[in-house]
Copies of this chain bind each other. A is one copy, B any other.
Amino acid sequence: MTDDALLESLKQLVEPGKVLTDKDSLENYGKDWTRIYAPNPLAIVFPKSIEEVQAIVRWANQHKIGLVPSGGRTGLSGAAVANNQEVVVAFDYMNKILDFNAIDREVVCQPGLVTKQLQTFAEEQGLYYPVDFASSGSSQIGGNIGTNAGGIKVIRYGMTRNWVAGLKVVTGKGDLLDLNKGLIKNATGYDFRNLFIGAEGTLGFVVEATIKLERKPSNLTVLVLGTPDFDSIMPVLHAFQNKLDLTAFEFFSDKCLAKILDRGDIPAPFDNRYPFYALIEFEAITENMKDEAMAVFEHCVEQGWVLDGVISQSEQQLQNLWRLREDISETIAPFTPYKNDLSVTVSKVPAFLADIDNIVKADYPDFDVLWYGHIGDGNLHLNILKPANLDKEDFFAKCAVVNTKVFEVVEKYNGSVSAEHGVGLVKRDYLEYSRSATEIDYMRAVKTVFDPNNIMNPGKIFK
């Protein structure tokens, strides 16, 4: 069948105008935030119902066409890249909140709902959707589920996985599965809901989700602390964690802060500068807890772990302090960062970070290395900035060499080559540093169960 005939048959499955093949659309919908791969989809299709998604999947099986799911395309692993004549299935028109139950605190939504909209909806109900991260303004719930998105509140609230009470998926065979149906307790065999969460669309597509909401935290309070070195960050974490239920514990290096302050629109946390900073957030439910936090702060100063600090006194100041950490990713984007999103268990973080730092410093002393991340979860974002005098290809080639060394360290520490960004294309060749060859074989076999013709996001996670 010619491409034209193929596309004609695809157009029959959706509403008029809901298959796009213009250059701009192909370019736009064929890539995510990685910008490493040249987009090359065959077409973009916009289903408006579960039945249309099923029809598209059956069509793809019939014609052996790969399908790539597309949400907000804010991913950093290339999981939403279509660079091999796939058809992109974009959920932009399946973006509604379908139901809400105040007693169950559960909201039923379509996969194209933007994360921020869910957060806002929750607030309007006096509730809270706690999964939050820098790209919440454009990422979509379906993509969050596909990558089991994490972010800045994981230490208290866990990953996206924890908030999915029900999931409707269309498998690679075109079957609609209604998984867990919003239940809290359900011990009826294999938990396919959790299997689809984080599967990056390789087993099937999320077409509806039941999301749990939570009590809105009261009087969130942020401290930003300056520390003399990285090794002081961890005892600070433990000191605070022993006394308070933290909602966030983040860190960033002074190199990150320098980039943030260069913007000119975010105030410095305090007058002096320090090698590293911790950002701590907790619910000050009572005045008592604020006092408790201040006592821990003073203890940390006495121990020499903390040299300076500020505590938020208003919502505005809290927002400004958060921007010091939250805006790093966006701020360094123009410097063509080579990103790695690594994790180890929390206790191993100091030794792990020192090992990686040594590797990069030894082999690439001219590279600017920026560390920040969700240290309370053992999750470190390693960003290597491209030196101005190096071209992009050379830079990425050098980084690829560093990568292997970095991942050997990850493997040594029993860590993860992708803490929260997923595997996609970017980490595919490095998956064996975190998952055994045997595990990957089982993954392939499980994929075959749900997607025997390998049409669902083919080539992502593994070849």
Contacts and interface: CB of A to CB of B under 8 A. Distances in A.
Interface string A49-83: 00000000000000000000000000000000000
A52 B12 CA distance: 58
Interface in A175-192: 175, 177-179, 181-192
Nearest to A242: B215
Contact of A438 (B175, B285, B378, B443): B175
Contacts of A190: 195, 198-199, 203, 443, 446, 461
Chain A interface, >50% SS class: loop
Contacts of A346: 103-104, 184
Contact of A343 (B147, B186, B377, B421): B186
B103 A184 contact: no
A162 interface: yes
Interface string A260-300: 00000000000000000000000001101000000000000
B427 A106 contact: no
15 contacts: A148-B187, A150-B187, A162-B162, A182-B345, A183-B415, A183-B416, A186-B418, A186-B434, A187-B418, A189-B200, A189-B423, A189-B440, A189-B443, A192-B439, A286-B286
Interface of A: 101, 103-104, 106, 147-148, 150, 154, 158-159, 161-162, 171, 175, 177-179, 181-192, 194-195, 197-200, 203, 215, 234, 238, 245, 285-286, 288, 343-347, 374, 377-379, 414-423, 427, 431, 434-436, 438-440, 442-443, 445-446, 449-450, 461-462
